[in-house]
Amino acid sequence: MTTDLTRAAAQLPQLAHPRNPGMALDLEWVAQAQANAPAIARRAASLPATRGVKKDHQAAWLCKAISLIDLTALSGDDTPGRVRRLCAKARQPVRPDLLAALGMEGLTTGAVCVYHEMVETAVRALDGSGIPVAAVSTGFPAGLSPYRLRLAEIGESVAAGASEIDIVISRRHVLTGDWQALYDEMCQMRQAAGSAHVKAILATGELGSLRNVARASLVCMMAGADFIKTSTGKEPVNATLPVSLTMIRAIRDYQDRTGFRIGFKPAGGISKAKEALVYLAMMKEELGHPWLQPDLFRFGASSLLGDIERQLDHHVTGCYSAANRHPLG
């Protein structure tokens, strides 16, 4: 990557863009959507090998990655205390002396992502920081609770202070090709969220094929999704590069035809700094600079921050610290 890209990486401002209003379901467009799996696999395989950045450039890109993390706690044993510690980490993601050495004081994560029950605790803990709270909703992770309860859950999370709602789609609508049902569900979920932004979790590891991923991505965008997200983190296979390429090419297609920009959130299993760098290079090359800002790109990750902090520690001090010195992220 060039110095020019590294300068872009160090910038933190959010870009404003009009919210996706959605459109009528276009079944012809959905039917045309394909995914050339061998070509996607070749492109995915070429990304890690060719996109290395080193030294200061790498540190700048890693700071950029931190600003794009939805710092996540989604465990059955989450407690208010753990969520408060997570929020403290979101406010101060890296040791102050390291941030000072990097000239990155004030850096925070993109958001904190929790279950509904923890929204109020997170909102209180982040008060004044400007860091949004995202709630996973609609019967996360399977999305199989009664439909009216799933819609009500969105409203409850918004009322509790969540400004972003990560909904799970009904995988069966994709697996049975019932695009109308998926579209209607997504429209109603978007409506239930009101002004809160909606990330549609496709749970791609359960959709059977990349073609289904491409089609489900399009339908969710047509129905007004603000972001499309790969996974809950609970499927057997979560974020992968081929699935991500399929989704971001659907995003490009949607922008070409409608003019609206949709965000992308790979989530689940992204835990290493070097993986984050590959994702950022992919976003830059496939969609361009606007998708390196938190309004259009997030990592859904519970342990990525710890590895990034460790790499930054090494960059500044020359020594690797033990992973257990970077808990909660």
Ligand X SMILES: O=C[C@H](O)COP(=O)(O)O
CA distance 255 to 239: 22
**Signed CA dihedral, 132, 133, 139, 140: sign only:** positive
Contact status, residue 182 vs residue 216, Cβ threshold 8 Å: yes
Q: Does 166 qualify as catalytic in the annotation?
A: yes
Q: How far is the CB of 242 from ligand X (least distance, A)?
A: 18
Binding site for ligand X (CB under 6 A): 72, 74, 113, 232-233, 267-269, 300-303
Position 232, amino acid: T
CA distance 253 to 244: 14
Measure Cα distances from 206 to 7, 25, 180 in Å.
38, 23, 19
Q: Which is nearer to ligand X, 102 or 203 (CB)?
A: 203
Q: Which is nearer to ligand X, 6 or 238 (CB)?
A: 238
For ligand X, the nearest residue by Cβ is: 233
Q: Which is nearer to ligand X, 72 or 204 (CB)?
A: 72
Q: Which is nearer to ligand X, 140 or 183 (CB)?
A: 140
Q: How far is the CB of 44 from ligand X (least distance, A)?
A: 19
Q: How far is the CB of 166 from ligand X (least distance, A)?
A: 7
Q: How far is the CB of 210 from ligand X (least distance, A)?
A: 21
Which residue in the list 265, 284, 295, 307 is annotated as catalytic?
A: 265
CA distance 315 to 310: 9
Q: Does 70 qualify as catalytic in the annotation?
A: no
DSSP β-bridge partners for residue 166 = 136, 199
Which residue in the list 64, 70, 89, 166 is annotated as catalytic?
A: 166
Which of 255, 214, 219 shows the shortest CA–CA distance to 27? Answer: 219
Q: Does 265 qualify as catalytic in the annotation?
A: yes
Q: Which residues are catalytic?
A: 166, 229, 265
